[in-house]
Structure 1
Amino acid sequence: MVDKIQDLNLPATVVTRLIKDALPDGINVGKEARSAIARAASIFIIYLTSSTAAAARKQKHKSLSSDNVFAALEEIEFENFIDPLREALDSFRKTIKEKKSSKTNDSKTNNDANTEEEMDEVNGSTAHDESSLQEPSDGTENEE
Structure 2
Amino acid sequence: MAERPEDLNLPLSVVSRLVKEALPEGVNLSKEARVALARSASVFVLYLTSSANMLASKDKRSTIRGQDVMKALDETDFSHFEDPLRKALNAFQKTVKDKKVASEQRKQQRKSDANKETTTPKEAEEEVIDLAEDEEN
TM above 0.5, yes or no, is yes
| Whole-angstrom CA distance in 1 between matches of 2:115 and 2:125 | 15
Describe the SS at the equivalent of 2:118: helix
| Whole-angstrom CA distance in 2 between matches of 1:89 and 1:45 | 15
Counterpart residue identity of residue 40, structure 2: A
Question: Which segments of 5 or more consecutive residues in structure 2 lack a partner in the other structure?
Answer: none
Question: Which segments of 5 or more consecutive residues in structure 1 lack a partner in the other structure?
Answer: 135-144
The answer as to 2:92 corresponding to 1:98 is no
Match for residue 41 of structure 2? 41
Counterparts in 2 of 1:58-73, with a 5 A limit? 58-73=58-73
| Whole-angstrom CA distance in 1 between matches of 2:60 and 2:131 | 72
Q: TM-score normalized by structure 1?
A: 0.82
Q: TM-score normalized by structure 2?
A: 0.86
Residue 72 of structure 1, CA deviation: 0.6
| Whole-angstrom CA distance in 2 between matches of 1:43 and 1:131 | 74
| Whole-angstrom CA distance in 2 between matches of 1:7 and 1:100 | 33
Residue 121 of structure 1, CA deviation: 7.6
1:83-126 CA-partner distances (Å, limit 9, x unpaired): 22122111111111111111111121121111111138862333
| Whole-angstrom CA distance in 1 between matches of 2:37 and 2:101 | 39
Match for residue 138 of structure 1? none
| Count of residues in Structure 1 that have an aligned counterpart in Structure 2 | 133
* Structure 1 residues 109 and 51: CA distance shift in structure 2, 3 A: same
Higher CA-based Rg:
1
* Structure 1 residues 12 and 126: CA distance shift in structure 2, 3 A: same
Match for residue 115 of structure 1? 115
